[in-house]
Amino acid sequence: MINKNDELIKRKEEAKLGGGLDKIDSQHKKGKLTARERIELLVDEGSFEEIDIFVKHRATDFGLDKQHYPGDGVITGFAKINNKQVALFSQDFTVFGGSLSEAHAEKIVKILEMAMKIGVPVIGLNDSGGARIQEGVVSLGGYADIFLLNTLASGVVPQISVVLGPCAGGAVYSPAITDFIFMAKSTSYMFVTGPNVVKTVTHEEVSFEDLGGAETHASKSGVAHFIYENEIETLTNVRRLMSFLPQNFMDKPIDVEFNFEDLFPDERLNEIVPENSNKPYDMKQIINLIVDNNDFMEVQSNYAENIIVGFARIGGMSVGIVANQPEILAGVLDINASVKGARFVRFCDAFNIPLLVLVDVPGFLPGTEQEWNGIIRHGAKLLYAFCEATVPKVTVITRKAYGGAYDVMNSKHVRGDFNFAWPSAEIAVMGPKGAVEIIFKKEISNSKEPEKELENKLSEFIEKFANPYIAAERGYIDDIILPKDTKIKLINAYKILKTKVDKNPKKKHGNIPL
């Protein structure tokens, strides 16, 4: 007779093999880790506490009554990352291809419910063939149960989805509701319908990679926020992201030690913005010089590159950065940039992460394609996000701030707390040349030398208006600062704003222009 303690140990060891050694070997041959190997890489060593290891499906049709695996294709539990508690689930492709059954879904729902109760982030490691066909509508119901919990948890605790295998059909909508999606190149796929269905319906020939691979979603669709070369790099960067985030909406990001003795004006910042306002420069140079240790974790780096968003620390404080990129499309705001920026701003506001906005924007992108596809509606999303945000918000205008885009990019008028400008800043309704051609149209056209007259008027206009001083006289700019002093000014501003309290009017929720 087997000792009961020994039986427990034996059962747990068998459960840890998932679908068996042959299936584990198959997973490794595809260049993929197993569900348990992923957890070990992701969390602090020895911190994982598993629950529901013995759960099995209850289906009996199509021979499922003869196929039972403890855990039913998903590992769930709690662990620590950077010594902070998280809840997580990891789908096991070795068991029924990681397909989602009623029991499988119940395990994930339990984790989400518990995470909300105790206020900890949720990380989902997705590697699933989709709904378990043999269970029919029961598995579809399981997906809907998860979608509901993802929605209810949104803005309560951070939710991170890591796609490390196929993710098709209904399975894509859980990651889509979560805050950030990580993908690994060559092994991660997301699509509503696969290449075969696409061929049948639209007659398009497309590969898995081109339809829904990591690089497609990182550069074309914007679905993926982070992509990396392999699973190890992907999971390492999930840990990195978690270091910038708080545990829940009532918490604040943890400050890290910062040596203020090393803080001094950085002359290199004085040399970045060209004297010619039409010349591009790389805003990332400015970002890297003002954040701690050049450590900037960019989000959606290959999508809508005319706007930059990401996480960093300034003086040891975690901040979310939104910046125009003059090197791409002159930093203009278009549909994709507006949506990308709006979603990031709303995440930071939901989880008490202060915002830094670096502005060099000539306006919104003109053209029929933008207008017909709704630049008005999509641009309003970014405006709405900044207007409703109550976290500390600091703006630095490095060069251009023209037209409605000036208003949108966290101006003083939409509750920017501290708004600074460099001496190179130009705050105006439009660029000098366009403004002069409208204001002095008659004088120029009636002149004997129209080109010379245009040049003279342009020179006068630039001297009077293409600077930050009129805005500063009005109080729209709190201070005009030397570029080299930017980091010192930012640290002091965020210290002052540590105790900021701001509230929006009481309501059920607003109606963002989706």
Structure-token match 């992108």, residue found? 365
* Domain stops at, among 215, 242, 269: 242
Average pLDDT value over all residues in the chain: 92
- Nearest of 315, 377, 389 to residue 349 by alpha carbon: 389
As given in the structure block, the two tokens for residue 45 are: 């060593």
pLDDT tens-digit map of 158-176: 999 999 998 887 789 999 9
So what's the pLDDT on residue 62?
A: 59
Q: Is 404 among the residues known to form the active site? A: yes
Question: In this structure, are 231 and 286 located in the same domain?
Answer: no
DSSP secondary structure letters along 382-431: HHHHHHH--S-EEEEEEEEEEHHHHHHTT-GGGT-SEEEE-TT-EEESS-
Question: In this structure, are 59 and 195 located in the same domain?
Answer: yes
pLDDT tens-digit map of 109-118: 999 999 999 9
Domain enclosing residue 96, as ranges:
4-242
Phi-psi region of 179 (alpha: psi -120 to 50; beta: other; left: phi over 0): alpha
Question: In this structure, are 195 and 289 located in the same domain?
Answer: no
What mean pLDDT is predicted for residues 266-271? 97
What mean pLDDT is predicted for residues 108-135? 90
Q: For residues 305 and 302, what is the distance between their CA atoms, to the nearest angstrom?
A: 6
As given in the structure block, the two tokens for residue 109 are: 């729902």
So what's the pLDDT on residue 1?
A: 60
Q: For residues 314 and 342, what is the distance between their CA atoms, to the nearest angstrom?
A: 22
Q: For residues 114 and 108, what is the distance between their CA atoms, to the nearest angstrom?
A: 10
Question: In this structure, are 219 and 272 located in the same domain?
Answer: no
**Residue 90 CA to its chain's centroid (Å):** 21
Main-chain dihedrals φ then ψ at residue 93, nearest 5 degrees: -70, -15
Question: In this structure, are 93 and 168 located in the same domain?
Answer: yes
Q: Is 169 among the residues known to form the active site? A: yes
Q: For residues 241 and 400, what is the distance between their CA atoms, to the nearest angstrom?
A: 31
Catalytic residue among 405, 425, 428, 435: 405
Question: In this structure, are 193 and 59 located in the same domain?
Answer: yes
pLDDT tens-digit map of 167-201: 887 789 999 999 999 999 989 999 988 888 888 99
As given in the structure block, the two tokens for residue 114 are: 């518990």
Q: Do 91 and 128 meet the contact criterion of CB atoms below 8 Å apart?
A: yes
DSSP secondary structure letters along 187-216: T-EEESS-HHHHHHHH-----HHHHHBHHH
Catalytic residue among 141, 169, 194, 374: 169
Catalytic residue among 170, 212, 213, 331: 170
Q: Is 222 among the residues known to form the active site? A: no
Q: At 317, which helix (H) or strand (E)?
A: strand 317-324
- Nearest of 170, 215, 218 to residue 191 by alpha carbon: 170
Q: Is 385 among the residues known to form the active site? A: no
If pLDDT is split at 50, 70 and 90, which confidence band does 61 have? low
Q: For residues 17 and 65, what is the distance between their CA atoms, to the nearest angstrom?
A: 20
Question: In this structure, are 88 and 142 located in the same domain?
Answer: yes
Number of domain units in the chain: 2
Q: For residues 488 and 358, what is the distance between their CA atoms, to the nearest angstrom?
A: 15
Is residue 78 helix, strand or coil? strand
Q: For residues 102 and 143, what is the distance between their CA atoms, to the nearest angstrom?
A: 9
Main-chain dihedrals φ then ψ at residue 206, nearest 5 degrees: -145, 145
What mean pLDDT is predicted for residues 319-346? 98
Question: In this structure, are 196 and 267 located in the same domain?
Answer: no
Q: For residues 228 and 318, what is the distance between their CA atoms, to the nearest angstrom?
A: 23
Instruction: Please say whether the dihedral angle defined by the alpha carbons of residues 125, 131, 133 and 139, taken in this order, is positive or negative.
Output: positive
Q: Do 105 and 139 meet the contact criterion of CB atoms below 8 Å apart?
A: yes
- Nearest of 119, 115, 56, 54 to residue 89 by alpha carbon: 115
Question: In this structure, are 234 and 283 located in the same domain?
Answer: no
Q: What CATH number should be reported for the domain holding residue 89?
A: 3.90.226.10
Structure-token match 């034996």, residue found? 10
Is residue 310 helix, strand or coil? strand
pLDDT tens-digit map of 67-78: 676 778 899 999
Q: For residues 508 and 341, what is the distance between their CA atoms, to the nearest angstrom?
A: 24
pTM of the model: 0.94
Question: In this structure, are 202 and 350 located in the same domain?
Answer: no
Question: In this structure, are 277 and 230 located in the same domain?
Answer: no
Is 438 within the bounds of a domain?
A: no
Catalytic residue among 155, 316, 374, 404: 404
